[in-house]
Amino acid sequence: MAQADPADRDRLIVALDVPSVAAANAMIEKLGDSVGFYKIGYQLAYAGGLPLVEKLARAGKKVFVDLKLHDIGNTVARGVESLNSLGATFLTVHAYPQTMKAAVAARGDSGLKILAVTVLTSYDDSDLADAGYRFGVRDLVEARARQALAIGVDGLVCSPEEAANLRGIVGPDMALVTPGIRPAGAAAGDQKRIMTPARAITAGASHLVVGRPVMEAADPKQAAEAIVAEIAQAK
């Protein structure tokens, strides 16, 4: 397959959801140049994977640390300070005002960008009602996006279903990072608010987060390359 434009390639973020550093290294090796941006979340970070952030950054890859911080402001700030120097591009916090303010203040000018998780893509309106919220997904995502914008957060994690509406609210520059991506025919799994890569890009997503459709593919490299090709066609 022809070499992808690095700008298109870096709009795909592959979630390294694996149980060990050895499994992560094997997948990174397998994916080679097809992937330029990786996400490290709970599973790998808690299995000793945080040092991989620096290793990947030194190798010229971008890294999204998806720890979804949420605690009292002081603890969030100290956590962000510990992560500032790893060389990551993105760090997630939950979109609560105290949490977002603490994270934005603590990232300073380190270069780390704070992303606020609006409403998890595995949630629908009934999940929010079960959790005691009086808002549906669309309204809560929008309210949190407006708060994040006012606080100076660098980007939002949302479903691609909300991307077009949020792009109109936050303007062209803020990162809209969308999990819930499923190539045509792929199993949704526990994701409830999903779109194909092409539709997500057209809707205004800046980055697509993809885990299982790449990680569990028979040929992960081919799966990643197909998503990058879809991004290139849709932009």
Ligand X SMILES: O=c1ccn([C@@H]2O[C@H](COP(=O)(O)O)[C@@H](O)[C@H]2O)c(=O)[nH]1
Q: Any idea which residues carry the catalytic annotation?
A: 66, 68, 71
DSSP structural state of residue 48? I
Using CB under 6 A as the binding rule, whether residue 8 contacts ligand X is answered as: no
Binding mask 34-63 for ligand X (x = CB under 6 A): -------x----------------------
Reading the block at residue 174, the tokens are 């803020």
Residues 6+ apart with CB under 8 A from 43: 17, 18, 19
CB of 141 to ligand X, least distance (A): 10
Q: If binding is defined by CB under 6 A, does position 176 make contact with ligand X?
A: no
Tell me which residue of 95, 205, 211 sits closest to 159, measured CA to CA. 205
CA distances from 49 to 16, 19, 61, 84, 119 (A): 10, 9, 15, 16, 26
Among 120, 145, 148, 166, binds ligand X (CB under 6 A): 120
Please state, in angstroms and as integers, the Cα–Cα distance from residue 99 to each residue in 5, 133, 171, 226, following that order: 36, 19, 23, 37
Stretch that binds ligand X, among 98-106, 114-122, 125-133, 223-231 (CB under 6 A): 114-122
Is 70 labeled as ligand-binding? Answer: yes
Only one of the segments 47-55, 113-121, 164-172, 222-230 lies at the binding site for ligand X (rule: CB under 6 A); that segment is 113-121
Contact with ligand X (CB under 6 A) among 89, 99, 191, 206: 191
Binding-residue pattern over the window 68 to 107 for ligand X, x denoting contact by CB under 6 A:
----------------------------------------
Nearby residues of 216 by Cβ (< 8 Å), 6 or more positions away: none
75 marked ligand binding residue: yes
Residue 166 vs residues 50, 161, 173, 174, 178: alpha-carbon distances, Å:
31, 10, 12, 10, 12
Please check if 39 is assigned to a binding site. Answer: yes
Q: With 0-12 CB in 10 A as exposed, 13-18 as middle and 19+ as buried, what is 37?
A: buried
Q: How many binding residues for ligand X (CB under 6 A)?
A: 15
Any contact of residue 15 with ligand X (CB under 6 A)? yes
DSSP per-residue codes, 88-101: -SEEEEES-HHHHH
Q: Binding of ligand X at residue 189 (CB under 6 A)?
A: yes
Please say which residue, 36 or 121, places its beta carbon nearer to ligand X. Answer: 121
Which of 160, 179, 197, 220 contacts ligand X by CB under 6 A? 179
55 vs 212 by CB, closer to ligand X: 212
Cα 24 to Cα 21: distance, rounded to the nearest angstrom: 5
69 is in an annotated binding site: yes
Contacts with ligand X by CB under 6 A lie at 15, 17, 41, 117, 120-121, 157, 179, 189, 191, 209-213
